[in-house]
Amino acid sequence: MKISFIGAGNVAWHMAQAFEDKGHHICEIYSRSLTNAKALVGKLFDAKAVTSLDFSNSEADLFVLAIKDDAFHIVLNELILPENSILVHTSGTKSLEILSNWQRNIEDDSISVGVFYPLMTFSKSKKLNFAEVPLCLEAENTETEKTIVKLAQEISKIVYLVDTEERKVLHLAAVFSNNFVNHLLGIAQDIMEDNDLEMSLLKPIILETVSKALQAENIHEVQTGPARRGDQKTIKSHLELLKNYPQNEKIYRVMSESVMNYFNPE
């Protein structure tokens, strides 16, 4: 297929290269910032960096809207696509409807819309195996669904049809298991480095934590630590160590309280 990306952020960065690796042609990369668009174009075979949202002369069959959620309104307002193309977005929180409404608005029935949500955390600097990225798809009609499922299966082994409500739940679960986990690991790193201890010492327990959780039928059941044991003395001494870090102290309190509540509900 001929594919263009609207957006040159972390998602576009990895997805565009994954498509190209499977022989698809990336036509245009749009970004408000030409520098950003060019950076991604530089990783691709024959794509063009553009800063206009008028794609009426584009040869692409598929447009991937990979932008921040709060840019949807402004981008959709200006977006012009060629006839008979498909537009998908990659957002975990935006509905399919937002694209259907746009399509009704421009009054071009030949354009069909869908969702192509990768349940993954991407950073430009970190390579990853796209085949392991779960792709959660939704489309407004069966034909478009067929097209994007086929495409998705070329770049990933894990392809699911997921509706807008389910996708929102997936995104919420991803916030807990990625965003918040990353923040906790960042705090652990701060604690180590503030005390001149090597972060590498924590590496084995972090790897084991995840390995154990992913094997557990019920992850709460493999919970260990002072809160699990209701060990108030240790909790108190940890809070003492955190007294000059009010934000971390708050997290410690709320997490410990939640663990204790899980095992001894009031």
SS3 percent helix, strand, coil of the chain, rounded to 5, is 55, 15, 30
Judge whether 31 and 7 are in contact, CB under 8 Å: yes
Nearer to a second copy, 13 or 55 (CB): 13
Nearer to a second copy, 22 or 263 (CB): 263
List the strands of the sheet with 62-65, edge to edge: 48-50, 25-30, 2-6, 62-65, 86-89, 112-118, 135-139, 159-161
CB of 175 to a second copy, least distance (A): 6
CB of 15 to a second copy, least distance (A): 15
Rounded distance between C-alpha atoms, residue 263 and residue 224, angstroms: 11
Nearer to a second copy, 31 or 248 (CB): 248
CB of 261 to a second copy, least distance (A): 6
CB of 23 to a second copy, least distance (A): 24
Q: For residue 253, what are the contacts with CB-CB under 8 A and spacing of at least 6?
A: 239
CB of 196 to a second copy, least distance (A): 9
Nearer to a second copy, 45 or 176 (CB): 176
CB of 138 to a second copy, least distance (A): 14
CB atoms within 10 A of CB 24: 18
Nearer to a second copy, 81 or 259 (CB): 259
Q: For residue 185, what are the contacts with CB-CB under 8 A and spacing of at least 6?
A: 206
28: alpha, beta or left? (left if phi > 0; alpha if psi -120 to 50): beta
Question: Residue 120 carries which side chain, given as an amino acid letter?
Answer: M
Nearer to a second copy, 60 or 120 (CB): 120
Element (H, E) at 95: none
Rounded distance between C-alpha atoms, residue 81 and residue 110, angstroms: 10
